[in-house]
Amino acid sequence: MENDRYYGIDVGGTTVKIGLVENGVLLDKWSVPTDISDGGKNILPDIMRSLPGPAAGAALAVPGAVLPDGTVNRCVNLGWGVCRPSEEFTALTGIPCRVQNDANAAALAEQRLGGGKGFESILFVALGTGVGAGVVLDGTIRNGARGAAGELGHLCLDPRDTAAACTCGHYGCVEQYASATGISRLAAQAGFPGMTSKQIVDAAAAGDAALEDVVDRACDALGRGIAGACAIIDPEAVVLGGGVAQAGDYFRLKVQAAFDRYCFHACLGTEIRLATLGSDAGMLGSALYAMG
Ligand SMILES: [Zn+2]
């Protein structure tokens, strides 16, 4: 019945993933293309037309900073400026709606159902084109005062202007070393241009010593960034997700070793784990967030 029905909606730059949860069970999932033309104004109407019916609630997961009052502070990938998409969604559908950052939604799903199951407090790190992260403390997503909590990708490791320039305008952010793009850049600098991060990590795992050096540098940077974050929030576990983390234990153990090298001694024992929900995490997390 619609009283127990919720929509989890992960609005990505190319695809919107939608899940229908009834009585706590994922009944169906589908996707619609993201139309970013005209400042992304078709995105919500396109979602609305794909919904099979009314529901008790919905939540949108978006790739941008979300303030505690639900205001979205720009989603460049969607063409959105400062806006309040949950209100527009409710006006279109009549369904109460919340909005959350996509990495934060994924963090909630991994904490409740995935790699962080059994823990109340986790740091979730998504390694993709960029490095996203989400913080769940005592079972609750923490957005921070300005929606910037968990912006691990932009923790600065090397502020000198000789370091890699970041999309945020600074230099030497974690993202410039540990994202898929960052790993490819490190490999190009080492004389291996044009390789994807998956090719690099696979070759390193198969025994290529020069590429293993590249992966070690990426994991060293990531472990250092995670150690800094853990000195502040001290989660029970860290969960690695995103495409790069699909390299599995080979990658995870290198990040764990780097974390153990750099962390404050009291943080030793913090487990680095792998995410288990894959690309459904954002959609599942928004459904959980919709349920409150
Ligand atoms: Zn940055």
**How far apart are the CA of 87 and the centre of ligand 1, in A?**
31
Distance 141 CA to ligand 1 centre (A): 22
CA–centroid distance, residue 133 to ligand 1 (Å): 13
Residue type, 282: G
The domains found in the chain, sorted by start residue, are 2-104+280-291 (3.30.420.40), 118-276 (3.30.420.40)
| Separation CA 65–CA 142 (nearest Å) | 12
Q: Rounded to the nearest 5 degrees, what angle is found at the Cα of 190, between the Cα atoms of 187 and 191? A: 95
Residue numbers of the chain with a pLDDT score lower than 70: 1-2
Strand partners, 132: 126
How far is ligand 1, taken at its centre, from the CA of residue 142, in Å? 20
Q: What are phi and psi of 183, to 5 degrees?
A: -65, -40
* DSSP character at residue 153: G
CA 64–ligand 1 middle distance (angstroms): 14
Task: Report the separation in Å between the CA atom of 102 and the middle of ligand 1, taken as the mean of its atom positions.
Answer: 18
Tell me what pLDDT residue 1 has: 55
Tokens of residue 286, six digits: 């928004």
pLDDT recorded at residue 23: 85
d(CA 18, CA 9): 4
CA of 226 to the centre of ligand 1 (A): 15
Cβ neighbours of 129 (radius 10 Å): 16
DSSP-derived 3-state class of residue 108: helix
Please tell me the number of Cα atoms within 13 Å of 68 on its side-chain side. Answer: 6
- For residue 228, CA distances in Å to 91, 142, 152, 220 come to 42, 17, 9, 12
> What pTM was estimated for this model as a whole?
0.95
Torsion sign across C-alpha atoms 39, 32, 247, 212: negative
Contact (CB, 8 A) for 59 and 89: no
Cα(113) to centroid(ligand 1), Å? 30
Query: For residue 73, how many C-alpha atoms fall within 13 Å in the half-sphere facing its CB?
Result: 10
